[in-house]
Amino acid sequence: MRRYAVFGSPIAHSLSPRIHTAFARQTGIALEYLAIEATRDTFPAILAASGVAGANITLPLKEVAFAHCRSVSARARRAGAVNTLTRTDAGWHGDNTDGAGLVRDLTERHGVDLRERRVLLLGAGGAARGVAPALLDAGIDALYVVNRNSARADALADALGDPARVHARGWDALPTLGEFDLLVNATSAGQTGTPLPPLPMALAAPRSVAVDLAYGRAAVPFTAWARAAGCAQALDGLGMLVEQAAESFQCWHGVRPDTDPVYADVRRLTDTQPVSD
């Protein structure tokens, strides 16, 4: 039985073991899937000692994992961050399934048309890097990357290599940016206990969709703001979590599981017992 795991900090309440165990049961694949605590400093040694055949990577390790890979996929290279590791004879191969997971959840589960949309991306860390390329590939019209550290926003915009559509701004520029069709919170504020900085209500319009890449309690401040601002949809990242997990599962096992029953299961769980990943 092969072993897989999700690495991050904090990680104790991760839903990834439940999701991958459900996928394995559905597809008849025998595996063990664990949640393993690791910080930036301890991650390389803990990964080496884990004996896993593959791994998912979450906060705050996605950029650390990228640097640890012997090879990476094209989408991981564009992101500069990795959320999926596969052990090979040559070393670790890195991929990033976050963007594909977000786009699939938005378009197929929630009916969001991303074409020609004006998008605000809050944050410029590993989570933001993972989803930005996929949003561009989905046909959005403009992507504004906003971060409290404007140099990190600039670095992400430069890495994306699409100056006609990608614009970097500091947090203080938010009141000047106008309305957005899609607002994506990719900051770690809710997951680390740091308050989300104030957001102008004028960023949202009646048809806007807002999504927090976190879920459970961590997503509450942003989704509450989105509802107060009048967004048509205020979503958390649970659907993205399930869809990116399915992408990882396919990378490892060559089969894509049915995500709908697994999403329904974890949605019921989070509705009655909020958790965070």
User: Residue 8 corresponds to which tokens in the numbers above?
Assistant: 């991050």
Q: What is the pLDDT along the chain (277 residues), one digit of tens a residue?
A: 899 999 999 998 899 999 999 999 999 999 999 999 999 999 999 999 999 999 999 989 999 999 999 999 999 999 999 999 999 999 999 999 999 999 999 999 999 999 999 999 999 999 999 999 999 999 999 999 999 999 999 999 999 999 999 999 999 999 999 999 999 999 988 676 678 889 999 999 999 999 999 998 889 999 999 999 999 999 999 999 999 999 999 999 999 999 999 999 999 998 876 444 4
Q: Where are the alpha helices (DSSP H) in 28-125?
A: 43-50, 62-67, 74-79, 98-104
Annotated binding site for NADP(+): 123-127, 213, 237
Annotated binding site: 14-16, 58, 83, 98, 123-127, 213, 215, 237, 244
Instruction: Indicate if 62 belongs to the active site.
Output: yes
10 Å CB burial of residue 179 (0-12, 13-18, 19+) is middle
Catalytic residue among 20, 62, 68, 75: 62
Question: CATH number of the domain at 99-238, out of 1.20.1640.10, 3.40.109.10, 3.40.50.720, 1.10.443.10?
Answer: 3.40.50.720
Same fold, 2-97+242-272 and 99-238: yes
CA–CA separation, 245 and 265 (whole Å): 14
Spatial CB neighbours of 21, under 8 Å, sequence gap ≥ 6: 31, 33
Give the dihedral sign, CA 158/101/194/8.
Answer: negative
What are the extents of the domains in the chain?
Answer: 2-97+242-272, 99-238
Annotated binding site for shikimate: 14-16, 58, 83, 98, 215, 244
The CATH code that applies to domain 2-97+242-272 is 3.40.50.10860
Predicted TM-score of the model (pTM): 0.94
User: Residue 16 corresponds to which tokens in the numbers above?
Assistant: 């990834």
Spatial CB neighbours of 178, under 8 Å, sequence gap ≥ 6: 202, 203
CA–CA separation, 151 and 103 (whole Å): 27
